[in-house]
Structure 1
Amino acid sequence: MSILKPLKIGSLETSNNVFLAPLAGIGDNAFRIIGRQYGAGLTFTEMISAHGLVNGNYRSHELLRITRRERPCALQLFGANEDILARAIMICSEYDPDMIDINAGCSVKKVLKTGAGANLLRDADNFYRIMRTCVSVSPYPVSVKTRLGITEKTINIIEIAQAAEEAGVKLFTLHPRTASQGYSGSARWEYIAQVKNVLRIPVCGNGDIRASGDAIKMVEETGCDAVMIGRGAIGNPWLLRNIVEAFRLYPKEYRDYEPDFNERIKMAIEHFNMVVRFKGEEKATGEVKRYLHRYLKGIPGAPDLRKRLVSSSTATEMNGFLFSLLNSRA
C-alpha cells in the first residue's frame, strides 16, 4: 500500500507528505520553487527573526516574500519573546503564508545567545506559553521544528512534544539530535517513534535522509506521518522526486534515479538564473557560491570545478563557466 499521502495540518492540506526543510542562507524562493517542481508537498522559508520583523529590518522583511509557485509554504520564525513573536506573526499575515512554523531547533550560537532556537527547549512551561501565544494570534496553522533538547543530559522531547500539542500546534517536526551535537553523530530516529506514540497531531521526521530508502526506513521504523528533507536536497532536487516515487510505489522496490553530468549542470544553470531573477546579478553571484557547487558533488574532478565556479565574479562569468561544462564530457 502506497505511503504517499496528503496530510491534513489544521486548515491546510498538503498534496503529499514529503516536505522541503527550512535552510538558512539557502532556502530562498528559487530553492523552494525547484523543491515544488521536484515534488515537495510543503516548503518552508529560511528562518526569519521575529525581532527583525518587528524592528523593520529590511533583510527580515525581504524573506517574507512567497510566490505562487512555491506554495504551500510556511514562514519560519525564530525568537524568544512571546509578545515579539505574536507581533511578528501579525506582520507575516500581510504576506498570507500557508502556515507559521516556529524554530525551536537551531543550534547556531548567535541564535542561542538570544534565547531562541533550541534554547526554547530549556523550559517546557515557557515553551508551552510561547507556543500557546503563537497559536492564539495566528490565523494560520502553527507548526514547530525542534531537536531532542540542549544536551544529552537534558533531553526532554516527550515533555516538549506534549506541550506543543496542548498549546494547539498542528504539526510537530523533530530532528533527533541535541543542540550540542549540531550535525555530528547520527540522527536517533527512535525518538521520532516515541514522539509519534504520544501525539495525536501529525509528526514529521527529519535527519539523515540521503536516499529514498532512508525515507522509507524512517517511516517504517517510526510511523511518522511525513518526512522533511534538508541538507540532502542541496544541489540534489532529484532526491525529493525519488522519495515521492518510492513512497507512491511502496512496497514495490524503487531504484533511485541518478542524473547524469549534463542534467546536473543544466539544473545548476536553471537554479542560478532563477536566483538572479529574484535577487539581481551581483547578489545572486555572491550567494550561490555557498551551495551551487553541490550540483557537482560526486563528479570526477569536482574539487577543481568548484574552485573555478567560486572564482566567478559576475553572472556572465558564472553562466559562461557552467555552459562551458555542458557536453564537455562524453
Structure 2
Amino acid sequence: MNLKEEMKAMSQQVDAALAQWLPDSDVFPAVIHDAMRYSVFAGGKKLRPVLVLAACHAVGGVQEEVLPAAAALEMIHTYSLIHDDLPAMDDDDLRRGRPTNHKVYGEAVAVLAGDALLTRAFGVLAEAGMASARRDPARAALYLQVAQEVAEASGTLGMIGGQVVDMESEDKQIDMEIMEYIHRHKTGALIRVSLRVGALLGGGSAEQLAALTTYGEHLGLAFQITDDLLDIQGDEAKLGKPVGSDEKNQKSTYPSLLGIDGARQAAEQAMADALAALESFDEGAQVLRELARYLLVREN
C-alpha cells in the first residue's frame, strides 16, 4: 500500500465535500466566507477526516456516506488552528507555509471565521443526519450520538479544556500527569472522536468501536509526541511554520520532560500500542496501521 497516495485520494474526497458544504467565497458577506475557505483549503494532511474515512472502511462501511461528518471534523480542526494562531494564544505568523488567518484578514475576522467554522460543522452534521434519517429513521439517533460525542471532544471536556490547561501551564514546571491531560484533550480528543464517528456511521460493532477508540488514544499520543519533537528538530520549510514555538511560549513538552531519546521511545511505544489495538481487524484497517507507523517518521 502507498499511504501517501491513499491519503491524497481521501483528502481530495474531503476537499470536494468541504467545497460543497461551505458557502462560496462570493456569498455576502464575502470576507467571512473567503476567510473560512482560506484556512480550510490551505493544505495540510487532513488527518482527522482521513481517520473518519479509514475507520469507516475498517468496519466495512461506505466511505461516501461519512464524508459530511469527515468535512465537519476538518472544519472544527481548522477553527481551532485559526484561534491557536491568534496573538492572544500562540501568536504565530505562518500556518502550512502561508500567513495565518489573522495576518490576512485581521484579528476580528479571524475570530469570527473560527466561530463560523465551528458553527457550520454542527450544521453539516444536522443536515446530513436529517437526510440520512429520511432514508432510515433509525439513523437519526446515531447522528444525535455523533453530534454529542463531537461536541464533548471539542469542548471544555476535550480540546478546549486541554488548551486551557496548556495555557495555564506556560512558564511552569508541570508533571507527566498534567502533560498527559493536556495532550489527551487538546490533541487526542479530536483524533479519538474522528475514529469513533467513522466507526459509528460505518456500522461498526461495539467491539470494533472499542478497539478503534483504544487505537485513537494511542495514535493521538504518538502524534503529539512527534509534534513536540518536530518543534525542536523539524525543518521549517517542510513544516510550513516556525520551529521553536514551544520554547518561545515556555511550554513543557514530552522532550523537555523525558529528553529527546525518552520522547522517541514513548512515541514508539504509543505506536506499538496503537497497532496492537487493531489486531482483530483484517486488511480493511491497513490505512490505519500504516498511519501509525508513518507518525514516527513524518516531517510535517
Provide TM-score, normalisation by structure 2. Answer: 0.29
**What TM-score comes out, normalization by structure 1 length?**
0.27
Higher relative contact order (CA 8 A, sep 6+): 2
**Greater helix percent: which structure?**
2
